[in-house]
């Protein structure tokens, strides 16, 4: 295959930064080395920039279809690509929820042609699921053991265990909202500490323990872990692990308003700090945003009636990249958690700068940080708790070799594809 484009400069290749030339043809990386011949177009990224693989967000809620007043696939993927996220995995608790082939195909039709990144659509694990029919059409499944947005709770063993067995038999990974709904209470709430009281850490530990008892060593991913103890339980069970930025930065006493109401809840400062410490050590497999937009008007309600969820798809990785700039975490670890591992764990042809992978690439000048201005973010929800945080945004973002963002501004078109056709 003739090489169409060559990008040359410093790149992170298998954890090592070195001068590299990357040849691209038909949206794929076809050559990587110190000298790649050919190419109708050659791009020298210069000495001040570094090339990384595009990030993969394994956990977003773009609310489309059914709740497009909060977010649409157009606006959600636009926000994602500005953060260097070139592929997103969207959760199934839309309206209607994705529970069978018909609702899945309907959602696929609704979002087709509107994405600015590549994407995959999860299906929900329900009682009597026909997992074998659904599996070829999704990158993974989602199990909700705790109640949250949408009504697809599955927490009773007599229904959950056979359904999960059917899902795992397909070979696809199953992500889990691991809060045992039996331990969630519904007392009136006035702040995040009340919300924490209603959704204690024991609910997380119980859910993971039940999964470990029945499915140890299986392709299970524990989403949005909130405690170091839960992380240890998941790792011991052989499950993959995912953490959000909000559970590592915010805590109940300083961040008490409805803006910070989320499921699972923010924890106390000690739990937060211990989770962040495990993140810095590299003990967690993936960073997921759990991007969960609600309107500013909904979030402005009294705490008890306000919905739970925090937007983060456009801000999480730029803040993480600022951690890299400051030396809080190494770059190769950030890329491993945000690109390499999600690509590997969800069997995507993405997440590495290597021959055969999709040419999802991004360029950074790590000397250039900025302060997040909420007014300039692209999510339809129009609010964020991350305003004022230091961040490093990518200067250029490519999806399958096509430039979508240049000099920090969107210049592409909705070329995103479904990773499962």
Active-site residue set? 290
Cis bond leading into 84, ω under 30°? no
Instruction: Region of 411 please: left (phi>0), alpha (psi -120 to 50) or beta.
Output: alpha
**Which residues have CB under 8 Å from 360's CB, separation 6+?**
53, 54, 86, 87, 118, 350, 351, 398, 399, 400
Report DSSP letters for 134-158, one per residue.
HGGG-SEEEEESS--SSS-B---HH
C-alpha triplet 316, 321, 324: angle, nearest 5°: 135
Cβ neighbours, 10 Å, residue 389: 16
Query: What are the backbone dihedrals phi and psi of residue 5, each rounded to the nearest 5 degrees, phi first?
Result: -145, 140
Instruction: Region of 128 please: left (phi>0), alpha (psi -120 to 50) or beta.
Output: left
Q: Residue 353: name the closest of 112, 126, 86 by CA.
A: 86
Q: Residue 150: name the closest of 91, 214, 104, 193 by CA.
A: 91
Q: What share of the chain is helix, strand, coil (3-state, %, to 5)?
A: 30, 20, 45
Map residue 43 onto helix, strand or coil: strand
């Amino acid at each position: 295959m003739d090489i169409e484009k060559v990008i040359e400069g410093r790149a992170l290749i298998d954890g090592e930064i070195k001068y590299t030339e990357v040849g691209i043809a038909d949206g794929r990386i076809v050559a990587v080395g110190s000298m790649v011949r050919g190419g109708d177009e050659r791009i020298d990224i210069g000495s001040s920039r570094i090339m990384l693989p595009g990030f993969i967000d394994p956990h977003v809620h773009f609310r489309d279809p059914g709740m497009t007043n909060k977010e649409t696939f157009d606006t959600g993927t636009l926000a994602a690509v500005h953060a260097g996220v070139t592929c997103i995995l969207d959760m199934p608790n839309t309206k209607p929820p994705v529970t069978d082939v018909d609702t899945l195909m309907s959602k696929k039709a609704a979002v087709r042609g509107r994405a600015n990144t590549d994407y995959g659509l999860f299906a929900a694990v329900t009682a009597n699921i026909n997992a074998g029919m659904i599996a070829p059409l999704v990158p993974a499944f989602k199990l909700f053991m705790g109640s949250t947005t949408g009504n697809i709770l599955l927490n009773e063993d007599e229904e959950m265990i056979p359904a999960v067995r059917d899902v795992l038999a397909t070979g696809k990974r199953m992500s889990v909202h691991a809060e045992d709904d039996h331990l969630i209470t519904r007392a009136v709430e006035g702040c995040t500490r009340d919300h924490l009281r209603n959704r204690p850490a024991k609910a997380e530990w119980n859910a993971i323990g039940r999964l470990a008892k029945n499915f140890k060593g299986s392709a299970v991913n524990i989403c949005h872990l909130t405690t170091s103890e839960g992380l240890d339980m998941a790792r011991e069970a052989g499950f993959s692990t995912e953490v959000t930025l909000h559970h590592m930065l915010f805590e109940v006493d300083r961040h008490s308003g409805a803006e910070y109401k989320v499921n699972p809840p923010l924890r106390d400062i000690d739990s937060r700090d211990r989770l962040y410490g495990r993140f810095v050590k590299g003990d967690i497999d993936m960073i997921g945003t759990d991007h969960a937009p609600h309107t500013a008007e909904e979030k402005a309600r009294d705490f008890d009636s306000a919905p739970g969820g925090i937007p983060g798809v456009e801000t999480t990785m730029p803040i993480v990249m600022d951690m890299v700039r400051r030396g809080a975490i190494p770059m190769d670890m950030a890329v491993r958690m945000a690109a390499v591992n999600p690509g590997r764990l969800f069997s995507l042809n993405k997440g590495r700068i290597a021959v055969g992978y999709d040419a999802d690439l991004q360029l950074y000048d790590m000397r250039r940080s900025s302060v997040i201005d909420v007014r300039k973010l692209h999510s339809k929800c129009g609010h964020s708790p991350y305003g004022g945080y230091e961040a490093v945004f990518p200067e250029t973002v490519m999806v399958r070799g096509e430039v979508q963002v240049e000099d920090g501004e969107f210049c592409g078109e909705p070329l995103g594809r479904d990773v499962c056709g």
